[in-house]
Every structure is written in C-alpha cells, then in structure tokens.
C-alpha cells in the first residue's frame, strides 16, 4: 500500500518543475497520467525533454533510442497518454478526464489554458473538488505574469547567482548558476507540498482550490539565511550579501580547504564544516593547534566571522600539511563535520549511497535494465513505489481512457483516426 493510493493526477506539465512535482506524487502512489502532445509532421511529439540529449537510453540492439536521460530522470511511475490540447476534441477529452481527477497540474503560459477552456474556473465548475496547480515563471498575477520563465534566468533574477560563485576579488570571481536547475526543482517540491495540503482540505470540505506556483517566488524563498541576513540587518545597514565562493556567510570555518597533494602531485581538497564552538575546539585539537580555540579572536563563531580574514589564512596553511585521507579519518573520529568532494562516479560508488538504495534498476520497454536515481523518501509503512518505468509517448492512452472514462475500443480508435490522441 502506498500513501497516495487512489489519488488521480492529470499532469499537463512539461520539462522539469511540473514533472518533478508529479514524479514525487507518483512515487507516493498517486496514479499520474502524463498528457503529451501526439507526434506529427511538424513535431516529434511528447515532452520536450524526450529529445534533450545526448545521452539517450541505449536500446537492446545497442543503438540510441529516442528517450533522453533527462526525460527518464523526471518521469518514473507515471503513465502517458497522447492528446492534442490545441484541438477541440482534445480539449473536450481533457475536460472529461479532469472531471475524474483529484489533481490537475499545468505549466502553460498565463492565459493559454483559459483559451482552451481548461483553466481553473472551467474545470472546477465540472469538478468542485479539483486541486488545480499552475506552475509558471512569475505567477498568475503581477507585472511579469505574461513573461516566460526559465530556471537560468530565475536564478539570476531571484538573487541566487549574486551569492553563488567565487568572490569578485579572487581569480574566477563572478556570478555562477547552480549545477542543476534548482529553481525548477524547488518549485516542483513546494508544489508537491501545496498539493498534499490542498488534498487534505478537499477531503475535509469537498472544496478544491487553485495553487499558483511561481519559480521566482520559490527562488526568493530559498535564499533562506541570506534573505534573512539582508532583511534583518543588511537593508538598514546598506550591506547586500555577496558571493563567498566555497565559504559560508555566517559560520567560520565552513568552507573548502586545499590539503596536501596526492601521490601524483595533484591538488586535493576537503570540506570542513565546523558548526559550533565545541566543534572548533575539537578541530584545533586534531590539527595540533589547541591554542587557536582559546584565542579571543576565534573563541566564538561571531568572533571567527569578524576575524575571518585573519583565521582563514592560518587554517589554509595548516590544512596543506596533511593528506586528504589523514584529515578525513582524524576529523571524523573527533566528530568534526567534514567530507570529500566526490564526482558522480564516486557518488554512486559510495557505500552509504549504495546501502540507502539510491539507484533503482527498471525494466523498460526498450531496454532490459535502466538504472535511475531512486526516490529519497523512506516511509516505513507506506513505502514509495517502483513499478512503472518512465513511459513511452502515449503508451497508456488506451488503458487510461478505458479505466478513467469507460471508453470502448471503437471510440478510442475514432479519436486516434481524428488525430485527437
């Protein structure tokens, strides 16, 4: 049994933020039906990410298929139907499906769904319990509502790139985006939380609602302590948080340090993440410099932050005196937070990652074994599901129309002849 068994979700979203949301809900047991554009002379059909490669899934014959790794990573445990939302027949079909759904998710530009008769007002009139979720760059209201929103631009507009990257006064300084599309991913996860809250309300009252998710809103929210730093003091003091490279704005020492080179003479690094004064004292003992923890400039975190420019050079020289493995073993034994900087090969070889089951192997229609990152959710009584690999385009059209709407095969075939599905 899964936590969201019996919940039906009609997913009209594409690319990442919406599919990331619905993938999490599908992991938890919801029946997520992904609505995709049919293939045709002018379009290959399906979610755009199906073609965002290489890399592509390698089929049983050893050749690349049309399924990009990008798409596979965001669409497990779903079923796919093809439906042309631009056609009146397709719009009518979506209205029928929405009448049977608990949740509707879309990430079209503001106004597009209203033109199709698939906006919240139209669908909630058919299904008052419907939880209708819109995901856009800037939300349904405001001066930017009609703009297209993309993760990269949102990371810039929402302040993340102003605090990500090396300091401007150091080599390589300047704004950097995060290596993955975090505005999309966080928006998808916030949407997941909102949907579950709205489902709870609908269960109690019979009343659905419209959830308005915006990438920019999410990006501003996820500024976290840096946003609070500015609002609490920076705004009044005229101090705007800046890029700190691999250092932390509020904690010292909490950054990457270079250690002794390896046997081949290559530079090595570790993360030292001292979170409190006790941990700093333990670090100083491990480093053979206990007197640093008694220095009035460095005793408390607030002192270390104020005297960062004096402390960090001392530590940089100290860290280079010992090898990576030596530091990690000694610091871990002393319960001082630290860690290596792993590449992805090292991540998936890590015994803890393997023990936690963070890779799952699927049987796919085009390949016998497809390894994908697994859900991180670990529920003791209602575990996540792993029964449906990312679907082929329109793979489940007949099954969904039969199960949800009771359509006979003859009607489905007519829709196919009409180009609706």
CA separation (Å) from 344 to 217, 325, 373? 30, 19, 12
Told to judge if 217 belongs to the known catalytic residues of this protein, a careful annotator would answer: no
272 vs 339: CA distance, rounded Å: 7
The helix (H) or strand (E) run that includes residue 284 is: helix 277-286
- Which residues lie below 8 Å from residue 393, measured CB to CB, with a gap of 6+? 36, 39, 45, 46, 50, 80, 82
Q: Which residue among the candidates 119, 184, 212, 217 is catalytic per the annotation? A: 184
Rounded to an integer, what is the distance from CA 404 to the centroid of its chain?
30
Helix (H) or strand (E) holding 198: helix 182-205
Q: Say which DSSP state 27 is in.
A: H
Question: Could you write out the DSSP letters of every residue in 127-172?
Answer: -TT-EEEEEESS-SSSTTTTS---HHHHHHHTTGGGSSSB-TTSTT
CA distance 293 to 298: 6
Report the alpha-carbon angle 53-59-62, nearest 5: 100
DSSP-assigned beta bridge partners for residue 64: 58
Of 159, 114, 148, 160, nearest in space to 14 by CA: 148
- For the annotated catalytic residues, the residue numbers are 184
């Amino acid at each position: 049994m899964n936590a969201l068994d019996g919940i039906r979700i009609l997913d009209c979203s594409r690319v990442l933020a919406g599919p990331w949301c619905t993938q999490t809900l599908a992991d938890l047991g919801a029946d997520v039906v992904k609505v995709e554009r049919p293939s045709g002379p002018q379009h290959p059909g399906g979610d755009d990410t199906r073609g965002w490669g290489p890399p592509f899934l390698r089929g049983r014959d050893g050749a690349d298929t049309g399924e990009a790794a990008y798409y596979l990573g965001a669409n497990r445990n779903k079923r796919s139907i093809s439906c042309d939302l631009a056609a009146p027949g397709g719009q009518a079909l979506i209205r029928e499906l929405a009448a049977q759904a608990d949740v509707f998710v879309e990430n079209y530009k503001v106004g597009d769904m209203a033109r199709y008769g698939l906006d919240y007002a139209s669908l909630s009139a058919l299904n008052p319990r419907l939880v209708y979720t819109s995901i856009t760059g800037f939300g349904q209201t405001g001066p930017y509502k009609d703009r297209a929103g993309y993760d990269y631009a949102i990371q810039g507009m929402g302040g993340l790139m102003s605090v990500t990257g090396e300091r401007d006064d150091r080599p390589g300084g300047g704004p950097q985006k995060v290596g993955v599309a975090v505005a999309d991913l966080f928006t998808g996860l916030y949407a997941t939380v909102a949907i579950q809250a709205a489902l709870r309300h609908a269960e109690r009252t019979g009343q659905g609602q419209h959830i308005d998710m915006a990438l920019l809103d999410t990006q501003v929210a996820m500024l976290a302590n840096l946003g609070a730093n500015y609002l609490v003091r920076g705004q009044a003091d005229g101090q705007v948080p800046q890029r700190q490279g691999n250092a932390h704005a509020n904690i010292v020492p909490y950054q990457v340090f270079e250690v002794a080179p390896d046997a081949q003479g290559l530079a090595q690094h570790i993360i030292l993440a001292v979170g409190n004064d006790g941990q700093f004292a333990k670090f100083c003992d491990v480093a053979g410099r206990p007197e640093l923890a008694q220095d009035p400039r460095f005793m408390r975190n607030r002192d270390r932050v104020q005297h960062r420019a004096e402390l960090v050079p001392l530590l940089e020289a100290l860290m280079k005196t010992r090898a990576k493995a030596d530091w990690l073993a000694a610091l871990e034994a002393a319960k001082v937070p630290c860690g290596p900087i792993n590449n992805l090969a090292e991540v998936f070889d890590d015994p803890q990652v393997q023990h936690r089951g963070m890779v799952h192997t699927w049987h796919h229609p085009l390949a016998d074994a497809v390894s994908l990152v697994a859900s991180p959710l670990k529920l003791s009584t209602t575990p996540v599901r792993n029964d449906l690999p990312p679907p082929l385009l329109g793979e489940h059209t007949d099954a969904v129309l039969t199960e949800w709407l009771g359509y006979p095969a003859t009607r489905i075939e007519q829709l196919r002849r009409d180009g609706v599905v």
